[in-house]
């Protein structure tokens, strides 16, 4: 009898299941709105021209392939921190941010979970928004934290349940760990306004909660890095000691290169040095040190003036195409005579739109219209193009009429 005969089959990943069903569908009209990766105006994967140019530059340097330090490529982590925290960030200029390169956003969250489980003195639970990115829950559970939720989505308005959110923040035990999506909340696409962020910061401060900020979409939401960094920078200015998890998967299109950062805002340089030493103790037995190629490409994009300007313009191009597809879809639904209120499609931001439709309507979209999305009614707007948007609008109108 085999050693593994008692290993039970696990459930399939819901997103990969959608891709399977999509592949099997032979209709020329089929649309896959499940995957969270950007597609160009023709629905094709997109490698940013600035990334190709940075890659050419990196390859022409004929670098060696030696190991990076445990905390990664210093030029990259430094430039990534400036991008997120801002050029005039006090903790950065005071040298009190402990930062390490991570295996994209997921790897940063995994280090965060492990670091908090081992060193955060006040709690072993983490509160995540309901709903949240599906992977948050197993990431933190596997890191040794108990996962709890706070109110976020309001089904009635397909918007933010701001009162419920504040109420839950106040009801948690003092000094709880709270996960916040910095911008472009996944899966809902619903972000607090700047005024609401200020209030959230005040409540978190009054309760002494610890903010863990997941920033997987910097620049990708609005097209402006500074705008998308508002919540993070406001929290830092307000004196929160926080952890930031940063991903370059979406804003640089470096998905498979696994480029990200994990950083901790510390009280002073001496504390930063102690935190740094503990990050190394966590990372060394997990994966020893991070991969070098993607970090060199990202570092080039962040530090080469010309390529940096080109990259920022291309990020804005991606964000603009998504925003444009949101209005086109909205306008078409109106034009087709839909009586439903679809304003949320335009008001939401980032890669995803939460349609506010039922799982049965999602099934009907797949069965009758060859349109594939997750059963929570989330579509990746990046998968919508001028070629398929009419079919999407007509089908959506039909299943909701
Ligand atoms: N956090 C959120 C909210 C995300 O949506 C994603 C990706 O979909 C990630 C983190 C991490 O992605 P990656 O590990 O590819 O950087």
Paired tokens of 95: 């040298």
Tell me: the pLDDT tens digits for 206-253?
Answer: 999 999 999 999 999 999 999 999 999 999 999 999 999 999 999 999
Using CA positions, which residue lies closest to atom 8 of ligand 1? 36
Residue 255 and residue 106: Cα distance in Å, rounded? 11
Residue 263 and residue 291: Cα distance in Å, rounded? 18
- β-pairing, 259-265 vs 159-160, is unpaired
Q: What is the mean pLDDT of the chain?
A: 96
Q: What is the pLDDT of residue 15?
A: 79
Classify burial at 234, counting beta carbons within 10 Å of its beta carbon; exposed 0-12, middle 13-18, buried 19 or more: middle
Q: What is the pLDDT of residue 17?
A: 83
Ligand 1 pocket mutation, candidates 104, 105, 290, criterion most atoms within 8 A of CB? 105
Catalytic site includes residue 250: yes
What SS3 class is residue 119? Answer: helix
Stated as kind and residue range, the H or E segment containing 294 is helix 293-303
User: How many Cα atoms occupy the beta-carbon half-sphere of 221 within 13 Å?
Assistant: 25
Ligand 1 pocket mutation, candidates 135, 215, 259, criterion most atoms within 8 A of CB? 135
Q: Where are the alpha helices (DSSP H) in 120-253?
A: 136-142, 162-171, 194-207, 225-228, 230-237
Q: What is the pLDDT of residue 13?
A: 81
Residue 359 and residue 376: Cα distance in Å, rounded? 6
Classify burial at 67, counting beta carbons within 10 Å of its beta carbon; exposed 0-12, middle 13-18, buried 19 or more: exposed
Using CA positions, which residue lies closest to atom 11 of ligand 1? 105
Tell me: the pLDDT tens digits for 157-196?
Answer: 999 999 999 999 999 999 999 999 999 999 999 999 999 9
Q: What is the pLDDT of residue 35?
A: 82
DSSP string, 318-365: HHHHHHHHHHHHHHHHHHTT--S--HHHHH--SSEEE----HHHHHHH
Paired tokens of 107: 């790897």
**The ligand 1 atom nearest the CA atom of 248:** 16
- Name the E strands within 194-309: 210-215, 243-247, 259-265
- β-pairing, 97-103 vs 31-32, is unpaired
Catalytic site includes residue 4: no
Per-residue pLDDT of the chain (401 residues; tens, 9 = 90+): 999 999 999 988 877 888 889 999 999 999 999 988 999 999 999 999 999 999 999 999 999 999 999 999 999 999 999 999 999 999 999 999 999 999 999 999 999 999 999 999 999 999 999 999 999 999 999 999 999 999 999 999 999 999 999 999 999 999 999 999 999 999 999 999 999 999 999 999 999 999 999 999 999 999 999 999 999 999 999 999 999 999 999 999 999 999 999 999 999 999 999 999 999 999 999 999 999 999 999 999 999 999 999 999 999 999 999 999 999 999 999 999 999 999 999 999 999 999 999 999 999 999 999 999 999 999 999 999 999 999 999 999 999 99
Using CA positions, which residue lies closest to atom 7 of ligand 1? 216
Catalytic site includes residue 197: no
Question: Residues with Cβ within 6 A of ligand 1?
Answer: 36, 104-106, 133, 181, 186, 214, 216, 247, 249, 255, 260
Instruction: Answer for the pair 223, 319: CB distance below 8 angstroms, yes or no.
Output: yes
């Amino acid at each position: 009898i085999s050693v593994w005969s008692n290993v039970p089959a696990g459930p399939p990943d819901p997103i990969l299941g959608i891709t399977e069903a999509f592949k099997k569908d032979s209709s020329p009209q089929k649309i896959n709105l499940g995957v969270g990766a950007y597609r160009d105006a023709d629905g094709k994967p997109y490698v940013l021209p600035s990334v190709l140019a940075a890659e050419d530059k990196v390859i022409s340097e004929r670098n060696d392939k030696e190991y990076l330090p445990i905390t990664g490529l210093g030029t990259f982590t430094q430039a990534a921190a400036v991008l997120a925290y801002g050029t005039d960030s006090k903790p950065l200029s005071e040298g009190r941010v402990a930062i390490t390169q991570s295996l994209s956003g997921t790897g940063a969250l995994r280090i965060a979970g492990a670091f908090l489980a081992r060193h955060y003195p006040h709690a072993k639970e983490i509160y995540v928004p309901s709903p949240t990115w599906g992977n948050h829950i197993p990431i933190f559970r596997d890191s040794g934290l108990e996962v709890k939720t706070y109110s976020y989505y309001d089904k009635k308005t397909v918007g933010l349940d701001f009162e419920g959110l504040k109420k839950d923040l106040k009801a948690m035990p003092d000094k709880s760990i709270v996960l916040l999506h910095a911008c472009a909340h996944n899966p809902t696409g619903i972000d607090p306004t700047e005024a609401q962020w200020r209030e959230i910061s005040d409540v978190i401060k009054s309760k002494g909660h610890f903010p863990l900020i997941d920033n997987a979409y910097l620049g990708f939401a609005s097209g402006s890095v500074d705008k998308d960094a508002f919540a993070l920078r406001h929290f830092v200015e307000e004196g929160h000691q926080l952890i930031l998890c940063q991903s370059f998967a979406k804003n640089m299109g470096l998905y498979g290169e696994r480029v990200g950062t994990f950083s901790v805002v510390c009280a002073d340089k001496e504390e930063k040095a102690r935190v740094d030493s503990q990050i190394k103790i966590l990372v060394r037995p997990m994966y020893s040190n991070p991969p070098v190629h993607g970090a060199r490409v990202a570092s080039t994009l962040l530090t080469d003036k010309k390529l940096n300007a080109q990259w920022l313009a291309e990020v804005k191009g991606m964000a603009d195409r998504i925003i444009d597809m949101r209005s086109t879809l909205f306008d078409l639904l109106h034009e087709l005579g839909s009586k439903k209120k679809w304003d949320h499609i335009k008001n939401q931001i980032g890669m995803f739109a939460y349609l506010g439709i039922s799982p049965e309507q999602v099934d009907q979209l797949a069965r009758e219209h060859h349109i594939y999305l997750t059963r929570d009614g989330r579509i990746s707007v990046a998968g919508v193009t001028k070629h398929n948007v009419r079919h999407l609008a007509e089908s959506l109108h039909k299943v909701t009429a």
